[in-house]
Amino acid sequence: MTEGSENKYLQLNIESEDSEHTTPSESDVYDEAGKDDLGLPEKYEITSFGADYDVDGIVKRIGRGDIIIPEFQREYVWTQSEASRFIESLLLGLPVPGVFFAKESESGKFQVIDGQQRLRSLEFFYSGYFNPSKDSKKRTVFTLQKVQRKYEGLTYEDLEDKDRRTLDDSIIHATIVKQDSPEDDNTSIYHVFERLNNGGQRLTAQEIRSAIYHGNLLDAIRELNSNEHWRNAFGGRKNRRLKDQELILRFLALYFGGEKYERPMKEFLNRFAKKHIQASDQFIESCKNIFLQTIRVIDSSIERPFRPERALNTAVLDSVMVGLARRISAKGEPDVNRFKASYTLLLENSEYLELISRATSNEANVNRRIELSEEAFSGI
């Protein structure tokens, strides 16, 4: 590996954007906050430097976990012939596109922002199996396909010694970025990822979070997303764009950190997810317990909750769940019939209806609708 001799200090100006592109027919979720646009840029300082890695070193680093390809990024989509053509390019000494890494300040490990298709292809070829299934009986041996005749049908182990050395010594250029300021979060990495991965079907906010903020909290949220009471409340099947997981994150963020809420909602959730990447077991248990208690009461009381109209309204969901969770934390679980009656009255409150319909990510509106929810449930 060789590194660039100088660091470059970059300023990245980011304007809030609507990152939610799920359609009502796909998700049946109304999230007005997803369209929030402050119109004011945030300014970041990012250290960026280049590094050249040999292929053998990259594959070994992936195997050791020093280079992290998050559990969720875009699915591996290359065909075996496409992956073979990439490997053939390296065997022939042709230049290939570089990759982007984000350096984790705590561990010093590199997180893949862009280039997972290429890196996974190398990992698979060196392992001997193409996009291997966990079921060993369904694994496909990775042989090169639709390449020059001398390489056709060969595995990594089948390559001639000189060709294997050529591949091992081939260089992949990496651009490595690290946020220097603000120091209290690394949300610039979110925006870099968003912009580098916006071809084709654009990634949703939660898909990006799952890629770059992987850790204890998001692992727990994936587990909670299978809970039967939550599945009943959300609406059956898991959302393929992870909107259901985002709403669990939104509840937890507002319940545990709502006093620090600042719009836009997307950035608030990014900061909370980043803060709790390596959350303590005690915090994770608190998250699980309050979520499960709250959603159990709701599912036991109300059919198709959070839907003042046809679509699930995320402003109703976050305020009702946070208000009920605080009631449970203070007094225990309420009688389901009394909760249902209070919930019905809340949805008839004209002020509340206004707060769940417009400017739902506005700080005052978020705080007020949660306050009305707390008031509605405090006496039951």
* Per-residue model confidence (pLDDT) at position 35: 62
* Per-residue model confidence (pLDDT) at position 6: 39
- pLDDT (tens digit, 9 = 90+) per residue, 34-80? 666 554 446 667 788 999 999 999 999 999 999 988 765 456 789 99
* Per-residue model confidence (pLDDT) at position 73: 45
Report d(CA 246, CA 356) in Å as an integer.
18
Burial 27-62 (b: 16+ CB within 10 A, else e): bbbbbbbbebeeeeeeebebebbbbebbbbbbbebb
Residues of the chain with pLDDT under 70: 1-27, 33-44, 71-75, 134, 136, 180-188, 193-202
C-alpha dihedral, 25 to 28 to 33 to 36, nearest 10° = 0
Report d(CA 246, CA 252) in Å as an integer.
10
What does the DSSP assignment read for 202-219? PPPHHHHHHHHS-SHHHH
* Per-residue model confidence (pLDDT) at position 106: 76
- Residue 246's closest CA among 318, 184, 323? 318
- Residue 231's closest CA among 285, 298, 286, 325? 298
* Per-residue model confidence (pLDDT) at position 313: 97
Contact 377, 334 (CB under 8 A): yes
Report d(CA 249, CA 106) in Å as an integer.
23
**Domain segments of the chain as ranges:** 41-178, 205-378
Sequence-ordered alpha helix ranges (H) in the chain: 24-27, 55-64, 80-91, 116-127, 161-169, 187-196, 205-212, 216-224, 228-234, 243-257, 265-275, 281-301, 314-331, 336-346, 350-355, 363-378
- Residue 355's closest CA among 340, 378, 373, 380? 373
Report d(CA 311, CA 379) in Å as an integer.
29
* Per-residue model confidence (pLDDT) at position 47: 82
Sequence-ordered alpha helix ranges (H) in 13-54: 24-27
- The one-letter amino acid code at 282 reads Q
Contact 377, 327 (CB under 8 A): yes
Report d(CA 102, CA 70) in Å as an integer.
12
* Per-residue model confidence (pLDDT) at position 198: 56
